[in-house]
Structure 1
Amino acid sequence: MSNMNIEEKTFFGHPRALFILFFTEMWERFSFYGMKALLVFYLVKYHLFSDDAGNLLVGSYAALVYAVPVIGGFIADKYLGFRKAIVFGGIMLVLGHLGMAFEGNAATQSMTGEITRDNFALQVFYFSLALIILGVGFLKANISSLVGELYEVGDKRRDSGFTLFYMGINLGSFLATIICVWLGETYGWSYGFGAAGIGMFFGLMTFISGRKLLQGKGESNAPEYLEKTSFGIKNEWIIYGLSVLSTLIFWQVVQRHEVVSYSLQLAGAVSFIYIVYYAITQLNGKAREQLFALTILIVFTIVFWALFEQAYTSMNLFADRALDRTVFGTEIPAGTFLSFNALFIILLAPVFAWLWVKMGKYNPNTAVKFSLALMLVGLGFGALVMGINVSGLGKVAAIWLILTYFLHTCGELCLSPVGLSAVTKLSPVKIVGFMMGVWFLATASSEFIASVLANIASVDTSNGLAPDLNIAKQSYLKLFEYLFYTGLGFGALLLVLSPVIKKLMHGVDKELNN
């Protein structure tokens, strides 16, 4: 009887555990985006990396962050369960973010241009990134899966529960890009990175303290296996130990961009070959065509995210070097402009949800929404092109970058909410997990491609600063023009293909839009 009473207790109509997961994810995203917002500045200004090297390191790190959750999700599904995987991931994240707070000595550049760096501090930094990669790998996918476990099949509260959960993600991102960036730019990098680590600690403590509210959800599917011993050690601890040892691999790989590039290309090629093989040998008719439709959509998402993720590299450096950031006599830190994406999502997500419902039978199909997303991300760069062209010899007005974030966020809302749903609805039942992995792999690839594209706007720096404003502006103009045409071009191509893709989806598209 008491268990029934516990089960009936809700908060705002949702399981109370949802709000534990809400605040856990909010703090985890606070730490993740706070660190990421500072990362390229830390590399270029403190360790005096070139733009090329800084962009590629951010790209390699982000690619691994999106690829490793595929492995973390598999381990949680088969062995650990979501709860233990999240706790382990949280511990790794706290250690990684606190390791980032160790600055060491700043790099120096001599009159001849020779740069001297603190190699020990750099290795601590790389190892801290490896811990964060591992931590996100165990936490990111599994906490979303745990939210799903809170609701029974057919529970009408599920969608609104996920909406609340994603509000936590964006609230964490919004706060991080203001607080961590301000601390890092004003008081020192260790303060910004340290704040991210403290945020993750709060998230971990929140999750651990709310274990009772989970009511047994997210536990291991193989508890007997975890209790068994191998070589005198419990299997559960062997899993943790091997996972920690994997940081030695990530520590080295994150420093070697060519390894990340080749690995992504190989994984992408193998995945594509397997999809085609599976479609031809295991499927026929409707199921085969739906899988092909999903594969086409995933390819176009790579283009979208490669453009969208310029925010943390080229757009961040552009804001620092070429944007007029002075408001009422106070200069706003460049990274703070990243907060507009999260703010616009919080404000516009309900509007877009209402709009799709209101449009009824005129609601665009999924392929058309994806094409709109590509065009909007392209138009965002068009706004920056216009801003640079009207700025004359001075700095670019901040309103142009804010407009870019508005357009990019509108594009994100046309693509992101529908995408994961499309994966679950269009994938054959036996390979849903594999196709979800392909989705994350595509995102990882786009992160790396984004860093390569950002290098089109690389600027020669001296002691981490761009010495000539107008040379910098012309470099960014070249990149933003290229991305403007890329977004519009691929958007138009997908729009032309949309009737074919809609036909291949065999009515699932209508279900997705309702």
Structure 2
Amino acid sequence: MAIAESAPGVPADAKTLFGHPRALFMLFFAEMWERFSYYGMRAILVFYLTKHFLFAKDPSYAVYGAYTSLVYVTPVIGGYLADRYLGARKAVLAGGILIAIGHLMIALFEGPVGEQGIYLNGFYLALATIVIGTGFLKANISVLVGQLYARNDIRRDPAFSIFYMGINAGAWIGPIIIGILGETVGWSWGFGAAGIGMVLGQIVFVVFQRELHGVGRPVSPELLRKPVVAGLSREWIIYIAAFLSIGVAWWLIRSEGAVGLLLGGFSALTVALIVYLAVWTLPRVERDRIFAAMFLVALSPLFWALFEQAGSSLNVFTDERVDRVMLGWTVPASVFQSVNSAFIITLAPLFAGLWTWLAKRRLEPSVPLKFGIGLMLVGVGFIVLVAGATASGNGLTPALFIILLYMFHSMAELCFSPIGLSSMTRLSVASMTGLMMGTWFLATAAGNFIASVIAQATGGDNAGPDQVLHVYTSISWFSIGVGVLVVLVSPWVKRLMHLDLLDAPVDHAMLGEAGLAEPAAAGLDTRGETRTR
């Protein structure tokens, strides 16, 4: 069995910036504008449904949950198509174009207040276009970051923290600009700004993608260009199928129950596929790493179910029950969605430096330990908010407490999300990197769906004032309890990661489409064990 040809990666003599390949900063800016669009639109989505289309809270939360879930389901398919055919670079470009079109479509389908019909269906169609575009872009731009570094490169976690700053720079600016435009000038102005931001992101990616060198190219360009049906190449068949799938996404956004069934079935099939590939195609060490990665993935839905209250129930809580008057100006509730990202931008360099400083002294917490800490911190954030709301009695909750909640959630996110992104690429093999990254986002999709269920549990338009606080209290203590359990089992999970063998000759870039190259060529002995240098 021949070794599959892999992407050459960034050459050792390629120019760097602050010790990292310059491609990292190109991806930083491309992702920044994509997140500007997504988080800015996300900040006003529930308000657009309740204040423009005059939806009640519960159906608004349902649409929000269905959309945000699908945004994280489709990267599983996009990751697989990039692994097998397109390559991450083409996938990111195609996805970005669709996302830009979707955002601009929303601006064109506003219509009169309260009028639904064609305007509401046009809005759903635009959301569906964004969903399919995100499927191509979301997982694969993170894969490109991971492919810039060797698996044992100590710059990997700091690189993902830097990349995460790009995400949060966009997520910080987006709600401020799009929120103010949408809530005070006009909804189409806000959504139009999101579309323009996405176009800027694509310009950055196209103009500077040469910095990627060979990273992210198709596995087999000849196979991709070869005509298959009616003179159409595999590449164009993929694009046409993506266009047709927009109709499926349009129907799913309108059907929260169908999204739940899709998530359950898709998750089961994906986990079964990964387990099959791990057990039957990988040596023991690589198999253990995949199982460790799946443990991390399993924790993701709980974290995101709590964290993603931000765009739904916490957004409405801020609008209705937080004192938002500052210096005589009533700050739009959507603008508070930028607080989390402001903390991320502030704290990310400190966390990146902390991890590096501890790693050099062999004191860095393990990845599962960081996850346990993150789960505890996200629970603490809700406890702080409940305490502030309870102390205020029947009055408005001081804005300080919602800000403190986002501070704790930001610290939790830095222990969870960038570390998870890095771990999916570090623990995976080449033929499964996109699939594993997509599975990470699939778990995030499950978290978003559960988040919509929690948001609806906080009560609709007729719920009592204590209902939301009761729900927040329950989920906070549950998350803290799970976090403690994760901390206790973290040493066992760390052993499954085989970190001492990351510099062994076996490299995920050397594993072919079946998941494993020839044992001798890949640096394995005849028992499938990894040899150390």
Q: Secondary structure at the match of 2:217?
A: coil
Q: Secondary structure at the match of 2:37?
A: helix
Counterpart Cα distance in 2 of 1:372 and 1:212: 39
Counterpart Cα distance in 1 of 2:384 and 2:20: 41
Counterpart Cα distance in 1 of 2:166 and 2:459: 35
Relative to structure 1, the CA distance from residue 74 to residue 328 in structure 2 (aligned partners, 3 Å threshold; closer, same or farther) is: same
CA positional deviation for 1:180: 0.5
| 1:394 corresponds to 2:405 | no
Pairwise mapping of residues 314-463 of structure 1 onto structure 2 (< 5 A)?
Answer: 314-359=313-358, 360-426=361-427, 431-460=432-461
In structure 2, the residue matched to 1:44 is 50
Relative to structure 1, the CA distance from residue 382 to residue 509 in structure 2 (aligned partners, 3 Å threshold; closer, same or farther) is: farther
Q: Does the CA contact (< 8 Å) of 1:86 and 1:139 recur in 2?
A: yes
Amino acid at match of 2:454: L
In structure 2, the residue matched to 1:208 is 206
* Equivalent of residue 173 in structure 1, options 171, 174, 181: 171
CA positional deviation for 1:353: 3.0
Q: Mean alpha-carbon deviation: is it higher for 499-508 or for 239-248? A: 499-508
Q: Mean alpha-carbon deviation: is it higher for 315-324 or for 138-147? A: 138-147
* Equivalent of residue 481 in structure 2, options 461, 465, 489: 489
CA positional deviation for 1:276: 5.5
Q: Does the CA contact (< 8 Å) of 2:37 and 2:198 recur in 1?
A: yes
In structure 2, the residue matched to 1:101 is 107
CA positional deviation for 1:63: 1.2
Q: Mean alpha-carbon deviation: is it higher for 25-34 or for 72-81? A: 72-81
Q: Secondary structure at the match of 1:48?
A: coil
Counterpart Cα distance in 1 of 2:161 and 2:459: 38
Relative to structure 1, the CA distance from residue 17 to residue 280 in structure 2 (aligned partners, 3 Å threshold; closer, same or farther) is: closer
Amino acid at match of 1:227: R
Q: Secondary structure at the match of 2:108?
A: coil
Gaps of 5+ in 2: 1-9, 504-533
Pairwise mapping of residues 62-211 of structure 1 onto structure 2 (< 5 A)?
Answer: 62-108=68-114, 117-150=115-148, 160-211=158-209
In structure 1, the residue matched to 2:518 is none
CA positional deviation for 1:358: 4.8
CA positional deviation for 1:92: 0.7
**For residues 77-133 of structure 1, what are the alpha-carbon distances to aligned partners after superposition, in whole Å with 9 as ceiling and x for unaligned?**
32223332222212111110001113443454xxxxxxxx42100110000001101
Residue-pair matches, total: 491
Counterpart Cα distance in 1 of 2:502 and 2:432: 22
| 1:478 corresponds to 2:466 | no
Relative to structure 1, the CA distance from residue 192 to residue 368 in structure 2 (aligned partners, 3 Å threshold; closer, same or farther) is: same
Q: Does the CA contact (< 8 Å) of 2:377 and 2:409 recur in 1?
A: yes
Pairwise mapping of residues 215-230 of structure 1 onto structure 2 (< 5 A)?
Answer: 215=213, 217-229=215-227, 230=229
Relative to structure 1, the CA distance from residue 217 to residue 284 in structure 2 (aligned partners, 3 Å threshold; closer, same or farther) is: closer
**For residues 267-304 of structure 1, what are the alpha-carbon distances to aligned partners after superposition, in whole Å with 9 as ceiling and x for unaligned?**
22334445566666677976665554443332222211
Counterpart Cα distance in 2 of 1:148 and 1:284: 22
Counterpart Cα distance in 2 of 1:321 and 1:104: 24
Pairwise mapping of residues 280-295 of structure 1 onto structure 2 (< 5 A)?
Answer: 290-295=289-294
Q: Does the CA contact (< 8 Å) of 2:92 and 2:137 recur in 1?
A: yes
In structure 2, the residue matched to 1:300 is 299
Q: Secondary structure at the match of 1:101?
A: helix
Amino acid at match of 1:393: N
Gaps of 5+ in 1: 109-116, 462-470
**Under a length normalisation based on structure 1, what TM-score does the superposition of the two structures give?**
0.86
Relative to structure 1, the CA distance from residue 458 to residue 355 in structure 2 (aligned partners, 3 Å threshold; closer, same or farther) is: same
Counterpart Cα distance in 2 of 1:410 and 1:36: 21
Relative to structure 1, the CA distance from residue 167 to residue 503 in structure 2 (aligned partners, 3 Å threshold; closer, same or farther) is: closer
Q: Secondary structure at the match of 1:394?
A: coil
Counterpart Cα distance in 2 of 1:492 and 1:32: 33
Q: Does the CA contact (< 8 Å) of 1:366 and 1:509 recur in 2?
A: no
Counterpart Cα distance in 2 of 1:159 and 1:291: 18
Q: Mean alpha-carbon deviation: is it higher for 120-129 or for 130-139? A: 130-139
Amino acid at match of 1:99: M
Counterpart Cα distance in 2 of 1:223 and 1:280: 30
Q: Does the CA contact (< 8 Å) of 1:51 and 1:460 recur in 2?
A: yes
Amino acid at match of 2:308: E
Counterpart Cα distance in 2 of 1:206 and 1:507: 35
Counterpart Cα distance in 1 of 2:153 and 2:423: 20
In structure 1, the residue matched to 2:255 is 256
Q: Mean alpha-carbon deviation: is it higher for 352-361 or for 284-293? A: 284-293
CA positional deviation for 1:494: 2.4
Relative to structure 1, the CA distance from residue 425 to residue 441 in structure 2 (aligned partners, 3 Å threshold; closer, same or farther) is: same
CA positional deviation for 1:423: 3.4
In structure 1, the residue matched to 2:530 is none
Relative to structure 1, the CA distance from residue 424 to residue 11 in structure 2 (aligned partners, 3 Å threshold; closer, same or farther) is: closer
Counterpart Cα distance in 1 of 2:502 and 2:216: 32
CA positional deviation for 1:357: 4.7
CA positional deviation for 1:152: 6.8
Q: CA RMSD in A?
A: 3.0
In structure 2, the residue matched to 1:24 is 30
Counterpart Cα distance in 1 of 2:476 and 2:19: 44
Relative to structure 1, the CA distance from residue 211 to residue 232 in structure 2 (aligned partners, 3 Å threshold; closer, same or farther) is: same
**For residues 11-67 of structure 1, what are the alpha-carbon distances to aligned partners after superposition, in whole Å with 9 as ceiling and x for unaligned?**
555544443332221111111111111111111111122211111111111111111
In structure 1, the residue matched to 2:509 is none
- State, as a whole percentage, how many aligned pairs show the same letter: 46
Relative to structure 1, the CA distance from residue 275 to residue 141 in structure 2 (aligned partners, 3 Å threshold; closer, same or farther) is: closer
Relative to structure 1, the CA distance from residue 333 to residue 500 in structure 2 (aligned partners, 3 Å threshold; closer, same or farther) is: same
Amino acid at match of 1:392: G
Counterpart Cα distance in 1 of 2:94 and 2:117: 29
CA positional deviation for 1:307: 0.7
**Under a length normalisation based on structure 2, what TM-score does the superposition of the two structures give?**
0.83
Amino acid at match of 2:295: I
In structure 2, the residue matched to 1:464 is none
CA positional deviation for 1:153: 7.3
Counterpart Cα distance in 2 of 1:397 and 1:385: 12
CA positional deviation for 1:371: 1.8
Q: Does the CA contact (< 8 Å) of 1:89 and 1:139 recur in 2?
A: yes
**For residues 345-375 of structure 1, what are the alpha-carbon distances to aligned partners after superposition, in whole Å with 9 as ceiling and x for unaligned?**
1111222233345554554333332222111
**For residues 207-261 of structure 1, what are the alpha-carbon distances to aligned partners after superposition, in whole Å with 9 as ceiling and x for unaligned?**
2223444445433333223333331334432321221111111111111111110
Relative to structure 1, the CA distance from residue 345 to residue 186 in structure 2 (aligned partners, 3 Å threshold; closer, same or farther) is: same
